[in-house]
A and B are shown apart, each in its own frame.
Chain A
Amino acid sequence: MSRYCLHLRDSAVGGPVVSGRLYRFVNGVEVDWDAQLPEFTASTRGQRLLVLLHGYNVSRSEGRASLARYMDLLAAQGLSDPMLAVLWPGDGWAKALSYPFEGRDADDSAEVLWKWLSTHLKPGTRVAFAGHSLGCRVAMATARRLALAGTLRLDRIVLMAPAIDNDSLGQSGRFGYREGTLGAERVAVLASEQDWVLRFAYPLGDLTQTILFGERWGRALGLSGPVERDPEVLARLEPVPRADPAYHVDHGDYLGVARQGGHTVAETERFLAPFLERHSQPRWPAAG
Chain B
Amino acid sequence: MAENLADYLGTTALAVGALGAAAYGVVDGLKLVPWVDLAGFERLFSGRAAIPGRAWIGPARGTLDPLLPALVAAYGQDVMQLIKAQYRAGRSGGDLPRTLRQGVRIGFGLLPAQDIAAIAERLGLPAGLATFVADAFLRLRELRPPASGEIPRAGDGPSDEERAALARLENAIDARIDAALGLAERQYVTQTKLLAMLVALAIAFGVGLHLGAAPVVCFMVGIAAVPLAPVAKDLATALQAAVQAFRGRGG
Identify the closest chain A residue to B163 (Cβ): A93
Q: Which residues of B contact A (CB under 8 A)?
A: 97-98, 101-103, 105-106, 109, 140-141, 143, 145-149, 152, 158, 163-164, 166-171, 174, 178
Q: Could you mark each residue 1-36 of chain A with 1 if its beta carbon is under 8 Å from any beta carbon of chain B, else 0?
A: 000000000111111111000000100111000000
Which residue among B143, B158, B170 has the maximum number of chain A CB atoms within 10 Å of its CB?
B170
Q: Would you give the shortest CB distance from B109 to chain A, in whole angstroms? A: 7
Identify the closest chain B residue to A105 (Cβ): B101
CB-CB < 8 A to B143: which residues of A?
12
Q: Would you give the shortest CB distance from A150 to chain B, in whole angstroms? A: 22
B105→A15 contact, CB < 8 A: yes
CB-CB < 8 A to A196: which residues of B?
none
A12→B140 contact, CB < 8 A: yes
CB-CB < 8 A to A18: which residues of B?
106
Given contacts A16-B102, A30-B148, A61-B146, 16 further A-B contacts (CB under 8 A): A10-B109, A11-B109, A16-B103, A16-B105, A17-B98, A30-B147, A65-B148, A68-B148, A93-B169, A94-B168, A94-B171, A97-B167, A98-B170, A104-B97, A107-B98, A108-B102
Interface size on A, residues (CB 8 A): 32
Q: Would you give the shortest CB distance from A213 to chain B, in whole angstroms? A: 7
Q: Would you give the shortest CB distance from B101 to chain A, in whole angstroms? A: 7
A98→B171 contact, CB < 8 A: yes
Q: Residue A175 at the B interface, CB < 8 A?
A: no
A94→B167 contact, CB < 8 A: yes
A95→B167 contact, CB < 8 A: yes
25 pairs, A vs B, C-beta closer than 8 Å: A10-B109, A12-B145, A14-B105, A14-B170, A16-B102, A16-B106, A28-B149, A29-B147, A29-B149, A61-B145, A61-B152, A65-B148, A92-B167, A92-B170, A93-B158, A93-B164, A93-B167, A93-B170, A94-B167, A98-B167, A104-B97, A104-B98, A105-B101, A111-B98, A213-B178
CB-CB < 8 A to B164: which residues of A?
93
Identify the closest chain B residue to A31 (Cβ): B148
Rounded to whole angstroms, the CA-CA distance of A111 and B8 in the bound complex is 53
CB-CB < 8 A to B97: which residues of A?
104
With A28-B149, A29-B148, A29-B149 known as contacts, the answer to whether A15 contacts B109 (CB < 8 A) is yes
Which residue among B102, B109, B158, B164 has the maximum number of chain A CB atoms within 10 Å of its CB?
B102
Rounded to whole angstroms, the CA-CA distance of A107 and B94 in the bound complex is 12
Q: Would you give the shortest CB distance from A42 to chain B, in whole angstroms? A: 24
Q: Which of A10, A12, A65, A94 contacts B170 (CB 8 A)?
A: A94
CB-CB < 8 A to A61: which residues of B?
145-146, 152
Q: Which of A16, A30, A60 contacts B109 (CB 8 A)?
A: A16
Rounded to whole angstroms, the CA-CA distance of A61 and B150 in the bound complex is 9
Q: Residue A101 at the B interface, CB < 8 A?
A: yes
Q: Would you give the shortest CB distance from A35 to chain B, in whole angstroms? A: 18
Identify the closest chain B residue to A16 (Cβ): B105
A108→B145 contact, CB < 8 A: no
Q: Could you mark each residue 117-136 of chain A with 1 if its beta carbon is under 8 Å from any beta carbon of chain B, else 0?
A: 00000000000000000000
CB-CB < 8 A to A14: which residues of B?
105, 166, 170
Rounded to whole angstroms, the CA-CA distance of A10 and B143 in the bound complex is 12
Rounded to whole angstroms, the CA-CA distance of A92 and B108 in the bound complex is 14
Q: Residue A64 at the B interface, CB < 8 A?
A: yes
CB-CB < 8 A to B168: which residues of A?
94
Q: Would you give the shortest CB distance from A11 to chain B, in whole angstroms? A: 7
Q: Residue A212 at the B interface, CB < 8 A?
A: yes
